[in-house]
Chain A
Amino acid sequence: MFGLPNACVLKFDEEYHSLEDYHGRVARWCPGCGDNGILTAVQRLCRDEQLPPEKTVFVSGIGCAARFPHYMKTYGFHGLHGRALPTAQGIKIRRPDLNVFVNMGDGDCCSIGAGHWLHAIRMNMNMTALLHDNSIYGLTKKQASPTTPQGMITNTTPRGAQLKALNPLSVTLGVTNASFVAQAVEWLPDLLYDVIRQAHQHRGFAFVRIIQRCPHFMTEPFESLLANPDRLLLLKHENGMRISDVVGRMYKSQTEHDPADLNRARELVEDPDRVPIGVLYRNEAIPRYDELRRPQRIVSVDRRRAVLDEAFDSFGIFPQDPEETRAGSGGQSGDRENRGHR
């Protein structure tokens, strides 16, 4: 405003955003669906961070999780199956002022959009990507996804899924330029909230895998993790997830893990017996594509004119002084009448 940076302007009309201000349409997920808990955690985050709704965009693909933007009262882009990440990148490339969140299911991210996933990690643009991983295709009614446990009976694997499940965390931690990797489960809301909060505050591409249940089609690994809470390994660190006393007393399986330690993070996610919960890796020193490609200057119309003129000059032909017209352009007096359009 009037050339002043926004931060210097006292906004008299600035309003406080309550939780309800982020409530969009009424969610139509099934009762018991893990997506409900994720929605609540994200709305809480928006309120606590006071994210301006008009400066916040939720981008999704297709699937149950992809309905997420409709249930937020912000801007949203409910696009195509698998294409949430490149769409979000396009949204962010010229809009550093926007808070960009991406909601993907396991089919969206790890199957049809897997190529984009790798490159989004490598590009490290500033956004928060939430993988709603319920290990099944829900919206299309129970087909195996890349993260479906081996042996699981689904409509496309009636004799059990043949392949071992893909590990989204080991993939993410293996990609060049991974800068924030975390894991949460939707049924521990405080931990989920804190992991998403840290992801949002990270400057770079923050990837959070959220293990969630699908009450209709996939109760694993939810049920076995609920039955064996010690399989959840809470990651403790002063730079990591906040663990309240109550949660700490309930989930005693904990380990000290420095999010700067990439090798340990890789080991933790490969442990077949434990499910690490918390911030696995964080590195804000990794360059961001949105920063690298940021315009170096504000471009005026005159500047654009100058650049075009320079380009035209480099390809230009200019009228010559007739006196200087050189040999070869001899027959200038040629018959103009005969010079039709060729």
Chain B
Amino acid sequence: MQTVEAYNRGQRTDLQPEGPDAEGAPAEKVDEHIVEIISDSGEGAQTAGQMFATVSAKMGNGVWTVEIIPAEIEPPARSIEGASGNRVRLGASTISNSGDAADLVVAFNDQVLLGRLPAGEFKRGAIVLLESKWGDHADKRIAAEYASVVKRLRAEGYRPFEVPMEKECAQITEDAQRGKNMFVAGMLAYIYSRDVDLFRDQIATKFRKKGDVVVGVNIGMFEAGYLWARENMDVRFEIAARPVTEPQVVINGNTAVALGVVASGMDVCAMYPITPATSASHYLSDIFTSVGGVVHQAEDEIAACAFALGASYAGKCAVTITSGPGMALKTELMALSVMGEIPLVLIDVQRGGPSTGLPTKVEQGDLLAAIFGTPGDAPKIVMAPATIEDCFFSIITARKIAETFRTLVIVLTDANLATGQQAFRRPAFNEEWVAPPIDQTPIDEGHAPFDWDPRTGLSQRHIPGQPGGLYTLTGLSHTREGGVAYGPGVNQEGCRYRSLKIAAFQKTLKPPEIFGEPEGDVLIVGWGSTKGAIEEAVERAQGDGLKVSSLHLTFLQPMASGIREIMERFKQVITVEINYSDSLEDELIDEDNRRYANLAWLLRARYLMDIDCWSNVHGQPMKPGAIENMIRERIQWLRGQ
């Protein structure tokens, strides 16, 4: 039996290097693989998956990671809905989305597989590494469940490997249940020929605060997993990697958003906890004070927005971070931001709806609510980052737009971006990102707080502390001087200028770039986190000679000029979105009552074109394979016309 001390610091040296002469099974070369690690909550599957992804990214593989999260902290053990873990897609080249079905699955129990099997999450023939301890469980029902799942896996053509994870780990630690995620990491390190030293570094970093013994035990279990796989498994894969040539960062979208807040120079973030947005505030809370910032956890969503708006009114533009249900609560204040022309950045990390919906799952259902959700005419700017890198830069951009145009800017990310991890080029700090200090210079005599420029509607705002700028901001209809006035011309004038500002902003937008040929049969239009999946699907179809291109919109309100001209060059335009739309296959649905996906509504209304949509609300990231199939069917149908 190996003792803890043997592992502690005295790492085994007989694991690596792997080369042509290395022991073990010969490696099969593959371009990419999708690996899923799923467990009950709290068993560490996410940690193992993240380490695997980080090591792979460091080795130069393209990586995309998605968390699989139940809505509860610790749902009942061995429950189908309780599946918690991580999906890692790694490849020889850049990976932009979570892909289709998994090639290899690690499951800490049999039940967590049952929800994902019928959902098509696993490729036929996928390798399943399954904790075997349930097979001889004292509870006969559990043992029978386990046996039936193994039988089913075999019958359906999967390749189950029964792995005595906990039993092996028990030789190293008494708390084998909690430590077996490192055993799993070790198995994956062997199967995918990962750099063992990079893994050891990751483990040491992760557990450093818990002391050397804990680090040693975890490295020990990692090594045990590696050795077990080498001795017992006949599968092995090799995924070529491109050496990293420029500095990169690997973060998820919420961390990117938090870093974007820091980079933008904003000082105040007010929030109320809501899934899946909260982790952005966790990270921001960690680092914000070091740049003089404050994350204020308000008593509710409304107070968070009011606090941010107050901070903006008296100083630099502030930010509030929330998700759909929280944005709904903030609508009255969003309108006040527009009416009072107080800059504000609102980040909505969208989740499944309506109502509380699917708290941990992805959806793009808030677009119309963001644009139109405020009663009365409240024009604002709505933008949607498409990648993790975008999440960072869009906050910097949003802050600038909000200040320049004295308006509300809504940034729509989603649960897919929030928890997805990807490597991207390390941003190089630019002083121009940062908000200037609060203007306290005197205001010229006679200058009105809403001195609307007749052409653009723009005006210079007065900030408390500025001598000569005294005024009372109000949400009521008001004149240029800020006085309450209900006359018929006054509200018309105010609405006009606030709307003109958006037009002035729109004139600064460049037409979006088309992905693929500028004309063809089908144009896919998307927004937000689906970009990677859409472009991968389009690229695959293009590879087979199909005339399909795609367009991805960053600004949804207002939209850039030139979109019509692009769309007109295709026989059919289809939006791909993760939100609900009616299917014409339903008996009652026809063109008189069909409800379209969010972006499709907008495009149809603006361009008077017969734009179709393809959308769903399964709460899953869009799979490139599914989009590809849709494209093929559409083009086939078009050719039959």
Residues of A within 8 A of B (CB): 24-25, 53-55, 57-59, 69-70, 72-80, 83, 85-95, 97-98, 115-116, 118-119, 293, 295-299, 301, 303-305, 307-309, 311-312, 315-320, 322, 325-332, 334, 338-342
CB distance from A72 to the nearest CB of B (A): 8
Q: Of A72, A308, A332, which one neighbours B243 at CB under 8 angstroms? A: A332
> Contact mask B407-437 → A, CB, 8 Å, 1/0?
0000000000000000100110101001000
| A89 cross-chain contacts in B, Cβ below 8 A | 296, 307, 310
Q: How far is the CA of A245 from the CA of B69 in the complex (A)?
A: 71
Q: Cβ of B289 and Cβ of A295 under 8 Å apart?
A: yes
A95 to B316, CA, bound (A): 11
B210-247 vs A, Cβ < 8 Å mask (1 yes, 0 no): 00000000000000000000000000001111111111
Task: Please tell me if the beta carbons of B247 and A316 are within 8 angstroms of each other in the complex.
Answer: yes
Q: How far is the CA of A329 from the CA of B336 in the complex (A)?
A: 55
Is the pair A318, B294 in contact by a Cβ cutoff of 8 Å?
Answer: no
Given contacts A83-B306, A90-B306, A322-B243, 10 further A-B pairs with CB under 8 A are A54-B465, A73-B470, A75-B471, A78-B473, A86-B306, A95-B465, A298-B292, A319-B246, A329-B195, A329-B240
Chain B 129-167 residues near chain A, CB threshold 8 A = none
CB–CB B94/A342 < 8 A: yes
A98 to B18 alpha-carbon distance, docked (Å): 66
Which residue of A has the minimal Cβ distance to B197? Answer: A326
B307 adjacent to A93 (CB under 8 Å): yes
B315 interface residue per 8 A CB criterion: yes
Give the distance to chain B from A110, nearest Cβ to Cβ, in Å: 16
Looking at the complex, which one of A53, A57, A330, A342 makes contact with B95 (CB distance below 8 Å)? A342
Q: Establish whether residues B423 and A328, one from each chain, have CB atoms under 8 Å apart when the complex forms.
A: no
- For B29, B249, B268, the residue with the greatest tally of chain A CB atoms inside 10 Å of its CB is B249
Contact mask for chain B residues 267-291; partner A; CB cutoff 8 A; 1 contact, 0 none = 1101000000000000000010111
Q: Could you write out 28 A-B pairs with CB less than 8 Å apart?
A: A54-B465, A70-B472, A77-B472, A78-B474, A79-B336, A80-B336, A86-B306, A89-B296, A90-B311, A92-B314, A93-B296, A98-B464, A115-B299, A119-B299, A293-B296, A296-B292, A312-B247, A312-B259, A315-B249, A320-B243, A328-B194, A330-B193, A331-B29, A339-B242, A341-B93, A341-B96, A342-B93, A342-B95
Q: Does B121 lie at the interface of the complex (its beta carbon under 8 Å from any beta carbon of A)?
A: no
Q: How far is the CB of A85 from chain B (nearest CB, A)?
A: 8
Flag the segment in B56-64, B582-590, B604-612 that touches A.
Answer: B56-64
The reply to whether A77 and B539 contact each other, CB–CB distance below 8 Å, is no
Q: What's the nearest-Cβ distance from chain B to residue A298, in Å?
A: 7
Are A325 and B243 in contact, with the CB atoms below 8 A? yes
Within 8 Å of chain A (Cβ to Cβ): is B309?
yes
Please tell me if the beta carbons of B309 and A90 are within 8 angstroms of each other in the complex.
yes
**A55/B472 contact (C-beta < 8 A), A89-B307, A90-B311, A320-B243 known:** no
Query: Do residues A57 and B18 form an inter-chain contact, with CB atoms below 8 A?
Result: no
Q: B311 contacts which chain A residues (CB < 8 A)?
A: 90-91, 93-94
Please give me the residue from chain A that is nearest to B332 by CB atom.
Answer: A80
Chain B, residues 255-271, CB within 8 Å of chain A (1/0): the string is: 10001001101011010
B19 close to chain A: CB less than 8 A: yes
Q: Which A residues are in CB contact (< 8 Å) with B270?
A: 90
Q: Are A320 and B244 in contact (CB under 8 A)?
A: yes
Interface string of B91-125 (1 = CB under 8 A from A): 11111110000000000000000000000000000
How far apart are B59's CB and chain A's nearest CB, in angstroms? Answer: 5
- Contact between A79 and B475 (Cβ–Cβ < 8 Å)? yes
Q: Which residues of A are found within 8 Å of B292, using beta-carbon distances?
A: 295-299
Asked whether B26 is an interface residue with its Cβ less than 8 Å from the other chain, the reply is no
Cα distance, A112 to B300, chains bound together (Å):
13
Whether B299 and A309, one on each chain, are in contact in the complex, defined by CB atoms closer than 8 angstroms, is no
CA distance A85 to B267 in the complex (A): 20
7 residue pairs, one from A and one from B, having the closest CB atoms: A90-B310, A76-B472, A331-B240, A339-B93, A334-B240, A295-B292, A86-B306
Quick one: closest B residue to A303, CB to CB? Answer: B291
Contact A70 B484 (CB under 8 A): yes
Partner of B464, one of A57, A72, A327: A57
Q: How far is the CA of A14 from the CA of B98 in the complex (A)?
A: 65
Residue contact B472 to A311, C-beta cutoff 8 Å: no
Name the contact of A328 in the complex, choosing from B59, B95, B484 (C-beta under 8 A): B59
- Tell me whether A95 and B464 are in contact (CB under 8 A): yes
Distance A289 CA – B289 CA, assembled complex (angstroms): 14
The answer to whether A91 and B299 touch across the interface, beta carbons within 8 angstroms, is: no
Q: Does B251 contact A (CB under 8 A)?
A: yes
Q: Which A residues are in CB contact (< 8 Å) with B561?
A: none
Assuming the A-B contacts A115-B300, A327-B195, A330-B240, are A341 and B19 also in contact, with contact meaning beta carbons closer than 8 angstroms in the complex? no
Contact with A319, one of B238, B243, B431, B473 (Cβ below 8 angstroms): B243
